[in-house]
Amino acid sequence: MPAKYPELEWLIASPGEDFNWWVNEVSDLTHWDFDDLGIIDPRQWNYLMDHLDSLREFGLDTELVERAFIGFSIERNLGENRIRMTRSSDLILENETALFFLPDVVNEETGPYAEFLDHIITLRIEQLKDLIEFDNSLTRSDLEEVLRDELTHLDYEGSGLHHFSEITFILEYVPAGYDREEDLEEEGKSSDEGEIAQEISDLTEDEEAIPEDETMRWDEEQEEETEV
């Protein structure tokens, strides 16, 4: 099957002050607007996958996940905090390399990413009902209302909501008055951080290094684990 948006061959992204990665340029200007377009880094993706795996027993549609994201691999460091990435042909859920993932937000209302969000909202509600005995009935409208309030708050502050934060908000949602489950707090701790760090280190060697931020401290975390 031909890839969607064949003109989308490469993009350039850089880490922002919020420690998330944001797209600066794209090869396909016909379909994509890169203003406030976030891309999910490998560490964030591992975290999301651990949460999504917990939804499989509630009917997670893996094909929908595949359609909702486009994978990119690092090509080279351009300096000045900018990395050029090229599109990957690997399947989203079967890849074993450190990829970045761009949500398909060409159609924000009815596109694959919008369907994905709608799907995980439904599954998160079912998961919560299975984990917690609520005094009152919990509905998807409860979660959607809180999510809309969060979006409105961020719009008021003039800051965009990164896709990683949006997905995490849904997957970690717990109604007010209920404590987050300890087992869910422990989800998403990846064992692949050292491998990701080495890949980025190899690509940026002999070039201007990207300033370290909270999304790229894989080396330090791996060393701490080794010392323990």
What's the average model confidence in pLDDT over 165-194? 63
pTM for this structure?
A: 0.75
Most confident listed range (2-11, 23-32, 173-182, 215-224): 23-32
Angstrom distance (rounded) from CA 110 to CA 225 = 43
Structure token digits, residue 138: 């919990």
pLDDT of residue 52: 94
Tens-digit pLDDT profile for residues 73-116: 999 999 988 999 999 987 787 777 789 999 999 988 889 999 99
Answer with the residue of higher pLDDT: 1 or 88: 88
pLDDT on residue 205: 57
In angstroms, the CA 221 to CA 48 distance is: 19
Burial of 40 (0-12, 13-18, 19+ CB in 10 A): buried
- Between the alpha carbon of residue 151 and those of residues 154, 159, 182, 217, 226, the distances in Å are 5, 9, 27, 28, 40
pLDDT, position 75: 94
pLDDT winner (highest mean) among 103-117, 128-142, 167-181, 196-210:
103-117
Query: Once rounded to an integer, what is the mean pLDDT over residues 22-27?
Result: 95
Q: How high is the pLDDT of residue 228?
A: 47
Q: State the pLDDT confidence band at 148, using cuts at 50, 70 and 90.
A: confident
Nearest alpha carbon to residue 39 among 149, 170, 153, 160: 160
DSSP lists the bridge partners of residue 76 as: 84
